[in-house]
Chain A
């Protein structure tokens, strides 16, 4: 087995710890920014839904501002976002390099997309259910937690899956700020030295990671659908 691997991936097997380190960096970036993204995006997506015209907490001002801000951040390419946010990153994290330095841009890069996903997921919750809950005297908070989040759970799970997969894509660019990760591994050790087996290893590990995320997402969506 080891022999086969050494034949297929000579440079990878020479320093396998480089691959594991990169994977661990990608995982750290994805998990940290993914968790923060999930909480913030869910909150903002909910805010979009409830403040929209006809929503349970209709508020034109809040909706308009949020809508515009999300559009602006969605239109900024990630690499530019990293540069744009350098001072904020430094202020929040104390550094603008390494895994810590890329969390803030990753969050800013993924939250607007996820908020839209959540908003779309909640739009799929039948308005009739919200009305029924209102007619039963349910408070706005009750409607958010007991109707929107619960009934929208399968669609939110699907939206989360897509966003996390995008996030893995974004982490590949984190080499710009020395955060490492699989993208950096492929470029620094593979591309720069013309070692194609390193690039393939990065591809395979990334595909596996994405497949696992996809599988978990589908499972959650299926378990919450009745």
Chain B
């Protein structure tokens, strides 16, 4: 089946510990990740993201449920068969996990032992992969001689060595600075596009999701609480936790704290209300703010603005301070909503 999902989780649960204090790290997750997509999984620390992704190659054996990768049910395999399937599932980690005793080239060649290739072919392939991740000249260095970004590139090359169909990334960029993060994300994008590898990205940074993912799932307390196209999640977050994460990505997350300050409230004036307007790519290009200000006779003050492209589509965010007759403000908001703007009132 061509339209069958690449990764399919069916009612997957994972408990740790036994007796009285069982931890339900993952609870009843059913999720499909499609062939060729880059899928993000986001959540706060302890939400169960790592546990979930580790269930996808059975580094954690689910307590309950089934895991299918590329049509094969991993949860039903013998140890030997599982090791065979795992070669189709690459994985990279926050801490890189390179073998300190091996050179860069030897690290990349590690998964190729017993692959049927000759020593010479293995060297060639490893060298080719290092070229792909733009580290060809470092092949004889040891990991301790590399920067974090270079280490992650080696880890990626190593994960690619067995020609996987899937790449699992657990916080692969969390130990890196923003610029290096960007270059690693571009590399992931490249191997998604050029090699057609399906990628699962675990992160707590919405920036990462925004930059490379097409779809995203949000996890809280072991459950997937919301999932969808990245654009939709940013444009119309439903759950509280999703709103938090989205706000963290456009820097408006500190706004409610700022608004709670009495001095700020006073300077804003009595009866002022604060709104977040999200202009979707469908909202059209009208001068909506000045229009409603004029037509409904209210004062609108822009205190924060952000404009970006997500997955190739435009999304604008404005934080507005509205002053005027309550009814007029309400009417204005209703009008804006009718124009396809996602309006949300922020309370200090």
Which chain A residues have a beta carbon within 8 Å of chain B's beta carbons? Answer: 126, 128-129, 131-139, 142, 146-147, 150-151, 153, 224, 226
Contact = CB atoms under 8 A, between A and B. Distances in A.
19 contacts: A128-B93, A128-B95, A129-B97, A131-B97, A132-B155, A133-B110, A135-B86, A135-B91, A135-B168, A136-B91, A137-B82, A137-B83, A137-B84, A137-B111, A139-B83, A150-B99, A150-B102, A153-B101, A226-B142
B110 A226 contact: no
A150 B57 contact: no
Given A136-B86, A136-B87, 16 more contacts: A129-B97, A132-B91, A132-B93, A132-B97, A135-B89, A136-B111, A136-B158, A136-B159, A137-B86, A137-B111, A139-B80, A146-B110, A150-B99, A151-B100, A153-B101, A226-B142
Interface in B131-185: 142-144, 155, 158-159, 162, 168
A135 B57 CA distance: 7
The dominant DSSP class at the B interface is mixed
A142 B87 CA distance: 14
Contacts of B80: 139
Contacts of A134: 59, 86
B85 interface: yes
B86 A126 contact: no
Contact of A137 (B85, B93, B95, B155): B85
The CB with the most chain B CB atoms within 10 A, among A134, A138, A139, A226, is that of: A226
A126 B101 contact: no
A110 B142 CA distance: 35
A128 B155 CA distance: 12
A198 B111 CA distance: 59
Given A137-B111, A226-B144, A128 B86 contact: no
Given A137-B86, A139-B83, A126 B97 contact: yes
A128 B94 CA distance: 10
B89 A138 contact: no
Given A135-B86, A137-B85, A226 B97 contact: no
Interface residues of B, number: 30
Contacts of A147: 99
Interface in B64-99: 80, 82-87, 89-91, 93, 95, 97, 99
A142 B86 CA distance: 15
The CB with the most chain A CB atoms within 10 A, among B91, B93, B97, is that of: B97
Nearest to B143: A226
A187 B101 CA distance: 46
A59 to B, nearest CB: 14
Nearest to A224: B101
A137 B87 CA distance: 6
Nearest to A226: B142
A147 B89 CA distance: 20
A222 to B, nearest CB: 13
A137 B57 CA distance: 10
Contacts of B101: 150-151, 153, 224, 226
Contacts of A150: 99, 101-102
Contacts of B90: 135-136
Nearest to A151: B101
Nearest to B92: A132
B83 A138 contact: yes
Contacts of A138: 83, 111
Nearest to B93: A128
Contacts of B82: 137
A21 to B, nearest CB: 42
Contacts of A129: 97, 99
Contacts of B85: 137
B59 A226 contact: no
Contacts of B59: 131, 134-135
A34 B82 CA distance: 40
A128 B91 CA distance: 12
A128 B89 CA distance: 17
List of 3 A-B pairs having minimum Cβ-Cβ separation, nearest first: A137-B86, A132-B97, A137-B83
A128 B99 contact: no
B87 to A, nearest CB: 4
B99 to A, nearest CB: 6
Contacts of A226: 100-101, 142-144
B97 A136 contact: no
Contacts of A126: 95, 97
A129 B110 CA distance: 12
A136 B97 CA distance: 12
Contacts of A128: 93, 95, 97
B49 to A, nearest CB: 16
A66 B11 CA distance: 39
Nearest to B95: A128
Contacts of A133: 110
A10 B277 CA distance: 101
B162 to A, nearest CB: 7
Contacts of A137: 82-87, 111, 162
